[in-house]
Structure 1
Amino acid sequence: MTTDLLDIEALLSDEERATRARVRALVDREIRPHIADWFDAARFPTEIVPALAAEGLLGMHLHGHGCAGRSAVEYGIAMQELEAGDSGIRTFVSVQGSLAMSAIAKHGSAEQQAEWLPRMARGEAIGCFGLTEPNAGSDPGAMQTFARRDGDDWILDGAKRWIGLASIADVAVIWAQTDDGIRGFLVDTASAGFTATPIAQKLSMRASIQCDIALDGVRVPERMRLPNARGLRAPFECLNEARFGIAWGALGAARDSLEVALAYAGERQVFGRPLSGMQLTQARLAEMALELQQCQLLALHLGRRKDAGTLEPHQISMGKLASCRAAIRIAREARAILGGNGITLDLSPMRHAANLESVRTYEGTDEVHTLVIGQALTGQAAFRG
């Protein structure tokens, strides 16, 4: 049974379908057979990194330096397929490519790009992106991490929180206040004073790594400062890359949830007939399909605009907000259709629903994206007061 009732398939090119087929095969081969165990054990499977790199998924939308240089739509399709496997696996690719690698590609020197991007594209070096702090999430301008100049070096002091991959990263993109505003730095994670501690006992994103970072007098050479990163605009440009991927990715979790619920309802017998033959079940499935396809069309529209160079930040916010809201509703409804069996890891919707609580929160909460859209409508910024 297909969930593509609008035949969105017909809107894709042969190349886009081929990308989807390759990534879907990777997910079926490398992720689906193991994800329940990884989630249960709260373990990110570093052993799959070479397979992700070999498929060209790390920094796949970047050009040059060994990156695949694929289109925005192909990148979005790949994120949708990865998140159909698990949000944590898609998050790894997003942090590596859309945040860490994107920061270097957009704001780094030619030397920094040549040093890091080829290795990161091959999965030989892992990056993380340190913006959020314990007391500065939705308001990154309130960050307290500070970098002071000391001769030819910088000394960084502060703390970051909820930083994906930090404990396994080789390089950390750290954003800090300076006497001249916010700047970005590439920090060798082996540096004295840099400590990354995984956050334990999570109820969401269990097959992923998020960390606290402590920066205690970390010395960073001037050559490791991102020369083209000035002010909050710099990290926001990277966040928009990640948000675009989320607008697609969350729909992979939603689609997988719907497919599981549809298959289960077709097999489950109640009162002598399939559960899928019940009116209330069909109403649920129909609403889920409607929301999913509406958001898939929106994501594709955003991808086409991004490839054309016309995508605006508020449009990305609309995609991220709509997809995450729809995906979490779909995952929850799918879990309900599964009844008691839906609370185990044998079936994916509850795992997806738990993960989507994080996806909905990171890279901008519902409230932040609502205000971005509100500002686009009214011309008034309502983030303060």
Structure 2
Amino acid sequence: MKRIQTRVMALFLILILLMNGISFILYHLSQQTIDQYDEMLKRFLLYNDISNRSSGLVDELQAYLTDKSLSFYESYLRQKRELAERRQALLTLMDRPAYPIEMKNYSSLIDSLIKESEEVILGFHQEDLYLTSSHYRETQQISGFIQETTLSMINLELSQYHLLYQRMIDRNDALQKMGWSLYGAIFLLGMLLAYAFSNTLTSPIRQLAMAAKRIEQGDLNGENLKVPGRDELSFLTESFNRMRSNLRHMVGEIIKKSELEQELKQQALKNSEMDRLLKEMTLRSLQNQINPHFLFNTLNTLAKSAYVEGAEKTSDLITSVANLLRYTLKEREQKTTVAEEIDHVREYVTIQQARFGTRRIRVSFHLDQELLTEPLPLLTLQPL
């Protein structure tokens, strides 16, 4: 996971590297100008040193010719060696001189001075006065030429220095302008990077705030938020999406549970109403059971009273009515037999004969005895 802190550090590192890069470029360009100025100053010093060495070489040579001292000879050799070193240093320093002809002539004069001084020493050692004096005069003359040429070279360098100085001023102005321009560009780039970076932070936060406000208003059905990258904000957004999904699931479960509880309450109310109706029906059934029993007992009492009083027909009629009523009030689900159904019909016939007489109503039964025990639903045989 890329952390936001890493991105911040990378942003600051980029800005620091850019600033240091600009500073290094400006320093390098300034250092080039300083190096050019330093090389010119070294050449001035080297010209002066060559001029002094050439004069010193002639002086040491004259002292040796006059005194013939070994110390003067060693001084001469040292001056000659150092003059040759200065010549080589000048050639090395001016690898590509601005005025090659003058530099070549100047170097040739130094070589000629060294060679003529060697010829003087050679003639002196051979005790050839003419050779010694002629070469010594050449040495003095060449030394004078070197002095004059040195002044000419310095004048050329000074004229070159004026051009260099003007270029240095122009370059410094250009560097200053370029520096301000680059620093301004870096500032604008830094602002753009800071804006882009801050936008990558604030945009997901704004989305989270808006989504949280919708949740506060009860809206849990928004689309999942998407944040590019794998940093803390991405992890926070994924956690928020999971939280909203869990809330949506929990609210759905609560709604389903509430609906189920409501259905259970309604079912409980229905069951309670059914229990009440069942109890009421049971009570009515008990009441209905009480009334028929009371009626049966009353009819039995009347039948016995009529029999005691000698009214046998009345007693039989009351008994038939009681039996008919008792059979009719049986439970409908209760099974009966063919014989019981026939007895029920006989009781009905007895009552009708009592009403209309045996002459008007005559009934005969022809039954198969094997069928009398067969089961039947109650009141299968309905007397009209």
**TM-score scaled by structure 2?**
0.21
Instruction: Write 1 or 2 for the structure with the bigger share of strand.
Output: 1
The higher-RCO structure (CA 8 Å, 6+ apart) is 1
The higher radius of gyration belongs to 2
Instruction: Write 1 or 2 for the structure with the bigger share of helix.
Output: 2
